[in-house]
Every structure is written in C-alpha cells, then in structure tokens.
Amino acid sequence: MSVLRVTTVCSGNICRSPIAEYVLRRALGDAGLGHAVVVDSAGIGGWHTGDPADRRARQVLRAHGYDGEPHRAQQITRSWFDGDAGPDLLLAMDATHHDDLVRLAPPGVEVVMMRAFDPALAGVPHPSDALDVPDPYYGAYDGFEDVLTMIEAATPGTVDRIRALLAERG
C-alpha cells in the first residue's frame, strides 16, 4: 500500500494549518494509521516561509500536549503536485483556501474544508463560510484555543475519511 499524503492549508502556515497538522498527525498515530499517512501543512501565501508557527499557536499546542516546535512554514505551489509525492487530500481551513486549492490542485486530488468532517456541522453546504476555521492571527490567545477546539472536533471525521481513502487504495 502506498503512503497517503494529507496537507492542511491556511493563509500563511503559521496558525491554523500547523495546529491541524499536529492534531491530525497524533490522531492518525493513535488510530494506528501513522505508518500509512504523511501529514504536513502549508500556506497559500509565502509571507512566512521558513518561520516557526505563531507563538500563540505553539503555546496552545503545548498546553494541550502537542509539540509544534519543529514546524517551519512553507507555501503550497503547483510544484507540490509534480511526480508521485504530491498531496492526495488537501484540508482547507476556510472557503477562500478551498477555492484557491481547487484552482491549484490537479484532477484526482481531493480538496475538502476540514470542518466539513465535524458532525455538528453535518448538512452545511460545502464549501461554505459556515465551515471556516477563523484566522486567529490578529486576535487574542483565546482565538487560538477556539481554532484548536474546532480542529479537534473535525479530526475524528477526518480520520474516518482518511481510513476510507486508504481502503480504496487496497
């Protein structure tokens, strides 16, 4: 079985998508799928390329038992899809990221808003602003807590989708 690659995506890859990356990576490990899935994150823009995650994102992760210290921001570009190592599943943090990723990704790459996997939001049209993980960058620390809560709520459904994708591959 080939490894599945999942990339979480936000604007600059320093707040929402790194939080999602580390939460999802742990959940997949806990589900016994860590060996079959590579999880990373990226930003639509390259403003923060090479930077660590925002200090508040790292603090929230640390407060909840995740280690986001190794993170370094990167930008997703068309070159990510060259060859066989490109992402299979792109998890957008908001509707604008979703739209950008649909334009960027080649056919066959699944693009989904991460909160679409939150059972409390079942029935919300996809993509939709109602599925956005709000950008906490210009706000206070509690916005990062809110982001973590939203991502953790969507993670079990995301793991289920990844399990289904792995099953489809055989």
Please list the active-site residues.
Answer: 10, 16, 135
- For residue 60, give every residue at least 6 positions away whose Cβ sits within 8 Å of its Cβ, in sequence order, or none: 19, 141, 144, 145, 147, 148
Q: Name the residue type at position 148.
A: L
Note whether 44 and 9 are within 8 A (CB). Answer: yes
The 8 Å CB, 24+ separation contacts for 29-37 are: 31/159, 31/163, 33/159, 33/162, 33/163, 33/166, 36/1, 36/3, 36/4, 36/166, 37/3, 37/4, 37/5, 37/6, 37/162, 37/166
Q: How many residues does the chain have?
A: 170
Tell me if the bond preceding 107 is cis, omega within 30° of 0.
no
